[in-house]
Structure 1
Amino acid sequence: MAERRTPRAPFDYADGGADEEIALRRSRSAFADVIFHPRVLNDVATVDTTRSVLGKPVSLPFGIAPTGFTRMMHAEGELAGAAAAAAAGIPFTLSTMGTASIEEVAARSRQVDPNARTWFQLYVWKDRECSAELIRRAAAAGMETLVVTVDVPVGGRRLRDVRNGMTVPPSLTPRTVIDTALHPAWWFDFLTTEPLSFSSLDKSSGSIKELFEKMFDPSVTIADLAWIRSEWPGTIVVKGVQTAADAVRVADAGVDAIVLSNHGGRQLDRAPTPLDILPGVVRALEHVPVRPEIWLDSGIMSGGDIVAALALGANFTFIGRAYLYGLMAGGRAGVDRSIAILRSEIERSMRLLGVAHLDDVTPEHVSRRSVPTLVGAIER
């Protein structure tokens, strides 16, 4: 439905990956490799899907990941995602590349639920003062958690975007004119709503490559986490960890959670699959003095995927494409529907596994058809 209702360029931006899209395919196939081992004759008349995340409860074991260009997918953009997340009792994360402002997203979340958990994702810019200003705005807006993405020293090469001439705002080429005829509702919304821009970038426009070159800083090191801690009053999550060794380094820097992520297969093609490295990271962090929570994204497309990640040791998960497909298909109603589908799949998986609470899901409930060779696993 999302593909039918959305022009090719924005759909491919959400759907595609880097280079040959090997990492994207591997991330999805890893979940298909999981075997569940149900326990029978347990009382599962009532199941509890709540989870404690950063010291506070959430109603489901997933949140909405930071995604950029979101109003290009649908005119309601981040505001639809924030409202749907607040209504469902799960966190929403606004991207630095968001197309709604920090203040707008925070306000929309609180309209739905005064206690909504709204987070901000940060890329550390070459201009550190620009990053510091975003941090201050997020804190002033009441966002509780800063999600620092660290796997983008440069932008990945996404060939679908290159072929589609992906720019912000969209370029009017013969191809996009044809798309206008095929997707009139999308173009009507695009032309009759506020002009598309990145709210954190002061109305920046241009190609994806030009925007990335302006923002991303290949000189960022782990020392910058201390600077971020000095600027940010809330909890800090580091997203984009891809080896056990880096998980230990980041944990030693004193962060509150790490996200095992290959950026949805959108950065380094052939990057490690987060689900494959998860058990090694769990072992590596066993002896860290203050152990951060371990979260996971990339490849999650069902409630069963989420339960599998929890069974293998993740504390929490992020969804990206699963949210964007719903947004493209139907705006706020589509996001609500995506969350409802995932909720029902999680509950059904729990009942069929014979567990009444997510904390009871353990590695004994899963195995893998093939055990991958993991690079970078270390023992503390």
Structure 2
Amino acid sequence: MTLRALHDAAREALDPAHYDYVAGGAGEERVLAGNERAFDRYALLPRVLRGAEDRDTAADLPGARRAAPVVVAPTAFHRLMHPDGERATARAAAAEGAVLITGTAATTAVADVVAAARETAPDPAVWFQLYLHPRPAVTEALVRRAEKAGCTALVVTVDSPVFGRHTRDLRNGFTDLPPGYAAENMRDLPGAPPGALTDIPMSASPTWRDFGELARMTSLPVLVKGVLHPADARLAVEHGAAGVVVSNHGGRQSDAVPAAVDCLPAVVRAVAGRVPVLLDGGVRRGSDVAVALALGAAAVGVGRPVVWGLAAEGEAGVRSVLATLRDEYDHTLALCGGRRNADLTEDMVVTRDVVTRGGTW
């Protein structure tokens, strides 16, 4: 089934409010739409007579050597999409050799997510996404929980000082999870009664100093997610980040920022090869993966397509999404004359509406 068909099947299967929760974005959803439209502005200039019958598309990422260049980005509440929830997503990602970033807002605890991934692969790469909590003891407890579960890296989301304004959720009255569902990673944390839930933090108070302290409290590599400005990319590296994720939260936070892929080249230049740079936001086809890698990304994250696959066909649907993107990317790499990811370079990316060397594209 194609990614479009999986999306359509998911829309039919889901409660309309739950569909809108995933599909929607902030404000008037300009950034949500812009993330996808931005990829349409880019084209690839192939190289010829230098390819190979067999290609190596593996990426070396923090805590995930020889991984697929398509990562499962953190998305919330998978059990609203399918009864198997994050467990199904974990098994699918492990089977496809993809990194899974499971999040603070998962409806399955991180230890259970890692255990499910291990049902498919003996040594899966599961990263844990978290926010810097205003109470350091809560942040440290989440870090220790992820370490104990067997996560191989941490991903700190930094673009959410407040919740985004989601018009669709307000219209639908979707403000709380239904009974029987919870953000399980926020259970039994310091300062709360046994078994109780702590609110997921959205606070403007954390600083780069707090990020640096988190990076020092663990031996796991720590990536910073939600960077658009190149100055912040430099600060991330200076404060111990093992990777930078260029992201505008899938258009779910500010409706006044650029498309993520348009910010990628400047961030790559600012990082200057010191750590890997990843991208998420708007990736919907294998050629999008190729454009991002040519612009300097080590890998890309996909969120909504994975959720549509989960809602439509469970574990098999997630596997279909990841396999489709992998196969489309490999096909594009071959058409561009590439043997490996590094063969895609920035000079091979042009925009469709500008004058380039040799004429108008």
1:153 corresponds, among 156, 161, 185, to 161
Match of 1:305 in 2: 288
User: Among 183, 192, 196, which residue is 1:198 paired with?
Assistant: 183
Tell me whether 1:3 sits opposite 2:11 in the alignment: yes
Of 272, 276, 279, which aligns to 1:296?
279
1:345 aligns with 2:328: yes
Q: Does 1:49 align with 2:32?
A: no
Asked if the contact 2:20/2:169 (under 8 Å) is kept, the reply is yes
Q: What are the residue-to-residue correspondences of 1:193-342 with 2, within 5 Å?
A: 195-202=180-187, 215-286=201-272, 291-342=274-325
Aligned counterparts, 1:20-31, within 5 A: 20-31=28-39
Q: CA deviation at 1:212?
A: 10
TM-score (norm 2): 0.89
Tell whether the 8 Å contact from 1:155 to 1:212 is kept in structure 2 after alignment: no
1:329–1:223: structure 2 CA closer, same or farther, 3 Å change rule? same
What is the rounded CA distance, in whole Å, between the counterparts of 1:300 and 1:47 in structure 2? 22
Provide the rounded CA distance (Å) in 2 between the counterparts of 1:325 and 1:220.
Answer: 33
Sort the Cα spacing of 1:251 and 1:89 in 2 relative to 1 into closer, same or farther, 3 A: same
Task: For 1:230 and 1:16, locate their aligned partners in 2 and report how far apart those are by CA, in whole Å.
Answer: 36
Tell me if structure 2 keeps the 8 A contact 1:64–1:323. yes
1:116 equivalent in alignment to 2:124 = yes
Q: Corresponding residue for 1:94?
A: 102
Contact 2:63 2:153 in 1 (8 A): no
Corresponding letter in the other structure for 1:237: L
2: CA distance between counterparts of 1:330 and 1:253? Answer: 41
TM-aligned CA deviation for residue 56 of structure 1: 4.4
The CA distance in 2 between the partners of 1:160 and 1:317, in whole Å, is: 27
Q: Is the 8 A contact 2:187 2:198 kept in 1?
A: no
Calculate the TM-score normalised by the size of structure 1.
0.85
Tell me, what secondary structure is at the counterpart of 2:324?
A: helix
1:236 deviation in Å?
0.4
Q: Percent identity?
A: 39
CA–CA separation in structure 1 for the residues paired with 2:217 and 2:294: 35
**Structure 1's 55 and 72: CA in aligned 2 closer, same or farther, altered over 3 A?**
closer
Pair 1:59–1:134, CA change in 2 (3 A):
closer
Query: In the alignment, is the contact (CA less than 8 A) between 1:279 and 1:313 conserved in 2?
Result: yes
Residues 254-289 of structure 1: per-residue CA shift (max 9 Å, x gap): 210000000000001121222111111222222xxx
Contact persistence 2:67–2:99 (CA under 8 A) = no
Alignment of 1:12-91 (within 5 A): 12-54=20-62, 56-91=64-99
Structure 1 stretch displaced more, 77-86 or 56-65? 56-65
Residue 151 of structure 1, CA deviation: 0.4
Can you list the C-alpha shifts for 1:138-162, whole angstroms capped at 9, x where unaligned? 1111111010000001100011111
- RMSD over aligned Cα atoms: 1.9
Unmatched runs of 5 consecutive residues or more in structure 2:
1-8, 190-196, 355-361
- Whether the 8 Å CA contact 2:63–2:125 is kept in 1: the answer is no
| Unaligned 5+ runs, structure 1 | 172-194, 205-210, 372-380
Q: Does 1:130 align with 2:168?
A: no
